[in-house]
Chain A
Amino acid sequence: MVPLSWYLILSAVLFCLGVFGFLLKRNIITIFMSIELMLNAVNLSFVAFANYWNTHLDKLPSGAQMVPLSGHVFVFFVMVVAAAEAAVGLAIIISVFRTRETLNVDRVNLLKL
């Protein structure tokens, strides 16, 4: 049985990779992937917690109730939203590429003040 903290550390590492990728990368596709990475890092921590609480019901604080599959449901929501986002985002990226012929975000800043 892998302890919860490992999942969480992995999740944090993935999230940080996503953050730094988002901040440092110029390529819009890579940025997009970094966003997916952050979302999935969070998904990982959701399912990890869900699994942990389901197997350790005795450690729940008194009065708290564990609803089955609550963590998994969140993950599904996130995946659905991410899929929708990917559809819209990729469409935008294609349209940007068509007009600007570049995927470098620093060159797609016409709306900046």
Chain B
Amino acid sequence: MTKNLYLWVIPLLPLVGAAINGLFGRRFKNAMVSAVALLFTAVSFGWAAWAVYSVWPGGATAHIETLPFPWITAGSFSAPFGFYLDQLSMIMVLVVTGVGFLIHIYSVGYMSHEGGYYRFFAYLNLFMFFMLTLVLANNYLLMFVGWEGVGLASYLLIGFYFLKDSAANAGKKAFIVNRIGDFAFLIGMFLLIQHFGSLNYDTVFGKIAEAHFSPEVGWGFFTITALCLMFGATGKSAQVPLYVWLPDAMEGPTPVSALIHAATMVTAGIYMIARSHAIFNLAPHALEIVAIIGCLTAIFAATMGLAQTDIKRVLAYSTVSQLGYMFLACGVAAYAAGIFHLMTHAFFKALLFLGAGSVIHAVGGEQDMRRMGGLRTKIPVTFWVVTIATIAIAGIPPFAGFFSKDQILGAVFHSPYGGPVIWAVGVITAGLTSFYMFRLWFMTFFGEYKPDADLGDAHLAPTAHAASAHGADAHGSGHDDGHGHGGVHESPWVMLAPLVILAVLSVAGGWVGIPEFIGGNNKIEHFLAPVMESPAVAGEQPAPAMKVLDPISRPEEKPTNEELLLAGTSVAAAIFGFFFAWLLYYKKPELPDRITSKIHGIYTMVLHKYYVDEGYGAIFVKPLLALSTVVFWRGVDQGVIDGLVNGAGATSKGIGNELRRMQSGNIRSYAAWVAIGGAAVLAYMIWLGVK
């Protein structure tokens, strides 16, 4: 028996914080609320770090702790309150608690002028509890509790400004879209129970390992299960076709966007797929589909990000796109690369969002980049940290994003599920990423500060329309946020300190994964190797196309020149992106107008995000609403159910109404009734006598 680490304490601490703030926070002063929230998160982080340190570096088997009492027992099925600490959950738990703690600190400054301060921190702590449950659970069911819980916390925080319609609707949208994915996840779990009688990771994966299944050629059990799980992940991780909720989720306060909708919650789907890699490895079709979905998401979201003018929306589409990369990595069975990108993305995207929050704070709640500009000298610290994050996400060495993105692209190129075409799409996406990020950077920090820019000029006319659903509201939200005080000013240090720490991580975070071909030793992949055995066994199967190379041994087998060439291509794409952004938004700022008016049709389509929301509205939402209104509401609910209840009431009322006439209060009519009754009795007696 290994040492007891009391892992259950890690998620429980934020729950205690949430309970204290949620129940009593209304009477606390703001300082007290933030003290409670920060203390419990910090202790949770410390405990997690200690637990990780205690089992470091972990063996091939996970450290499992189960609470002594059962949770759910039904027949032969049982799900315990169990916690699972292996290399994968070590990374996740440290990212969640660490980045989460930094964002808590930042929120102290960012939210200081807001109403509902205690509510915000209670929700944020609640989110931490569920997210830690999700990553530490030792069975799918407990993971699902966390999975649903983070959805709840996300709903509550997106709708934090619940008096605003757009925020309340965005919250509902996120919740409902996620529910569609959750349904598939549930089906996947039922399939697992049916086949393995258990949802515990070690039982399921142990059985799979013992049985030595060979990868399915057709569409068997593993493929269906994997597809169900994958569809669940597309909801949570905002992939095609369920990505639509994430851009709208930007209605929440900016720290929420950073924590939930960039760094942690949306990566839950990636974590789940990586956790279930044993199932996915046996389902080549599912892997192929995962890769295609990831690839599609990456490029579509990246193109949609090109035309956005709301600073947070650009970052939202960027998040979707980067999540697509992680999906792609999982799809080519390079789970370690996916998790690596998840980690570095958590650093630089959290930094970007918090930096954007700092910018929004500085310019008094404005979120439209066309009303910014020239902020470089006014908010220098924010400028520098955002610069670091931008370079990191663009994938320029030696910043973090380069290593993780390069690892994914390298794996895609060599994988049978990927190949040069998908790799090329990935590289183009990298170029687009670089372009829109530097566009954001130039629009925000260079040029002139134009807070009163007129946004209604000719070529932008569609924007007003496109943004009517969100853009216009977003401005409103900005002002609601209560940041409209004073001129442009740098944020307080309580906000800048987390930015600086995250900036350091954005630079250095990638160095744990420096690949062999440029002199590193890819520590993170070796670290994750015991958990993430890649489907090398798949090489035994007949179809040669399915042969998969062990990513760990790959660099030795492949000429390093090719690796360098691949890396060089993606860096070149990034530099191209930078160059075009520089040309269009710094050197010749009038060019974009001319270009967009030339390709007006495509531009409008991109601006409207390919009309996906409208399409979903027409295909799913409207018919469903009509069906619900006509059949379920008017028909079943009002017709049958209300009809039965009201009918019973109306019947007795009618009978009573008729019988009421008997009790007229008129004595003589009573006497008449008595007389009639007497006569009737008499007649009956006579009739009896005659008979």
Contact = CB atoms under 8 A, between A and B. Distances in A.
Interface of A: 19, 22-23, 105, 109, 111-113
Contacts of A22: 668, 671
Nearest to A113: B665
Contact of A19 (B663, B664, B666, B675): B675
Contacts of B672: 23
B685 to A, nearest CB: 14
Interface string B647-691: 000000000000000011111100110010000000000000000
B666 A112 contact: yes
Contacts of A109: 665-666
Considering the complex of A and B, which 4 residue pairs feature the smallest CB-CB distances, nearest first?
A112-B665, A113-B665, A23-B672, A19-B675
Contacts of A23: 668, 671-672, 675
Contacts of B671: 22-23
A113 B663 CA distance: 9
17 contacts: A19-B675, A22-B668, A22-B671, A23-B668, A23-B671, A23-B672, A23-B675, A105-B667, A105-B668, A109-B665, A109-B666, A111-B665, A112-B664, A112-B665, A112-B666, A113-B663, A113-B665
Interface residues of B, number: 9
A22 B673 CA distance: 13
Contacts of A113: 663, 665
A105 B665 CA distance: 12
A112 B663 CA distance: 10
A23 B675 CA distance: 9
A105 B666 CA distance: 10
B678 to A, nearest CB: 9
Given A23-B675, A105-B668, 15 more contacts: A19-B675, A22-B668, A22-B671, A23-B668, A23-B671, A23-B672, A105-B667, A109-B665, A109-B666, A111-B665, A112-B664, A112-B665, A112-B666, A113-B663, A113-B665
B686 to A, nearest CB: 12
Contacts of A105: 667-668
A22 B664 CA distance: 17
B676 to A, nearest CB: 10
Nearest to B678: A19
A87 B675 CA distance: 25
A22 B668 CA distance: 8
Contacts of A19: 675
Interface in B77-101: none
A42 B154 CA distance: 89
A103 to B, nearest CB: 14
Contacts of A112: 664-666
Contacts of B666: 109, 112
B488 to A, nearest CB: 79
Nearest to B675: A19
A109 B666 CA distance: 8
A23 B679 CA distance: 14
A105 B671 CA distance: 14
A25 to B, nearest CB: 9
A27 to B, nearest CB: 12
A3 B606 CA distance: 115
A23 B671 CA distance: 7
B679 to A, nearest CB: 9
A23 B666 CA distance: 11
A23 B663 CA distance: 16
A109 B668 CA distance: 11
Contacts of B675: 19, 23
A109 B667 CA distance: 9
Interface string B40-58: 0000000000000000000
A22 B675 CA distance: 11
A19 B664 CA distance: 19
A26 B482 CA distance: 83
Nearest to A19: B675
A113 B665 CA distance: 6
A34 B663 CA distance: 23
Interface in B446-465: none
The CB with the most chain A CB atoms within 10 A, among B663, B665, B668, is that of B668
Nearest to A20: B675
A66 B671 CA distance: 35
B53 to A, nearest CB: 86
Contacts of B664: 112
Contacts of B668: 22-23, 105
A37 to B, nearest CB: 14
B661 to A, nearest CB: 12
B126 to A, nearest CB: 60
A92 to B, nearest CB: 13
